[in-house]
Amino acid sequence: MQAAPFSIFGRRASGGASVSQRRWRAFRPAVFLLAALSGGSGFGEPPAPAEKPAVLIVVGAPGEEEFGKRFSQWAKLWQQAAERGGANLVTIGLEQKKESTDRDRLKQALADEPKEGPGELWLVLIGHGTFDGKEAKFNLTGPDLTATELAEGLKPFHRPLAVIDTAAASGPFLSKLSASNRVIITATRSGHEQNYARFGQYLSEAIADPAADLDKDGQTSLLEAFLTAARRTAEFYQVEGRLATEHALLDDNGDGLGTPADWFRGVQAVKRARDGAAVDGVRAHQFHLVRSDAEKELPPAVRVRRDELELEIAALRETKSQLNEEDYYNRLEVLLLEMAKLYERSSDVQKAAPPAQ
């Protein structure tokens, strides 16, 4: 009999279970999820739903001292943005003394994170990557992390999730990790772009930069940071007279295809795939690590429903050519009226709230 597949994030259940085993599986997800993911042997309560965002920064093996300095600086910019945004912050890979491998520490950090809730989880991979023609890897100090392993470890997550892989040869991570309610960004469009990637520098600089706020709403979204970083990366190669060896991609609609930055004008995608695949960008434009004052005032439940309505409006606009004009505007009116009422109720609640002491 073939052994059940094993992942660094836990062993998947195999068939042929007894009655007692089936009963165990019925309640194990609710009671034993943390221990199963972390590889522990004891029971543990699952984490409470996430209300606050969390940023998990993983700095890979530098290879050379100069790269190590650059990666540390990029991580520092992400740390500063996370602190400004009031996010829970975990950094892996910069410690001098380590009691476990970085891959094990990443495994544990993911196990400790709530799997549900409105708070976004940002997973930022900074370093080098490789591709052997079949599997892409993110290079860690110690055992490397494959795209397949990371995909397995992220399966339990149903909260908003952004995975940003700034390494060379990171393209295959996009198709492996793509799913609903996720934003996936890779520094390259394939595993064959294996030269050192500079995209990570420009993205770390843009994520909290007011100059990257393309729509001038007082906050820089992940989409805006992606577009700004991709533009600056292209400008680097143009100014240096070099052939570009990296082409970043973004996927946020779950189709695993990805969209390059040059398909956008402002924050709107103006190009379409030949096969009619849905465009990316709307969900990524809803991720803000450092929110504006107005955005901070919105209760989490209001923000979640607002985001849902924005996605519904975007999807409706994609089908405009397939609907008659009256039907289209009737559907649009319903969504816009609900959006207006949502903001109105939120404003009333804020006015009724007692002043902060």
Q: How far apart are CA 255 and CA 278, in angstroms?
A: 8
- Say if CB 261 and CB 267 are below 8 A apart: no
pLDDT reported for residue 334: 96
pLDDT attached to residue 41 = 32
- Average pLDDT (56-77) is 96
Tell me the pLDDT tens digit for each residue of 144-166: 999 999 999 999 999 999 999 99
Instruction: Examine the pLDDT at 82 and tell me if it is beyond 50.
Output: yes
Query: What tens digit of pLDDT does each residue of 100-128 get?
Result: 999 999 999 999 999 999 999 999 999 99
User: Which residues are paired to 184 by β-bridges?
Assistant: 163, 251
Can you give the pLDDT at residue 134? Answer: 94
List, as own/partner pairs, every contact residues 197-201 make where C-beta atoms lie below 8 angstroms and the sequence separation is at least 24, other chains included.
197/129, 197/166, 197/167, 197/168, 197/170, 197/246, 198/233, 198/236, 198/246, 199/166, 199/229, 199/230, 199/233, 199/246, 199/248, 200/71, 200/74, 200/126, 200/166, 200/167, 201/70, 201/74
Q: What is the pLDDT of residue 114?
A: 96
What confidence score (pLDDT) does residue 353 get? 54
SS3 209: coil
| pLDDT (mean) for 6-14 | 39
The continuous run of DSSP H or E covering 325 comes out as helix 325-352
pLDDT tens-digit map of 301-335 = 899 999 999 999 999 998 898 999 999 999 999 99
Count CB atoms within 10 A of the CB of residue 124: 26
Helix (H) or strand (E) holding 185: strand 182-186
Predicted structure pTM score: 0.84
Cα distances from 329 to residues 304, 335, 336, in angstroms, run 24, 10, 10
pLDDT at site 45 = 55
Distance, in Å, from the CA atom of 311 to the CA atom of 184, rounded to the nearest integer, reads: 17
296: its two tokens: 């901070």
Categorise residue 286: left if φ over 0, alpha if ψ from -120 to 50, beta otherwise: alpha
- With beta carbons less than 8 A apart as the criterion, state whether 164 and 125 touch: yes
- Other residues' Cβ atoms within 10 Å of the Cβ of residue 115: 22
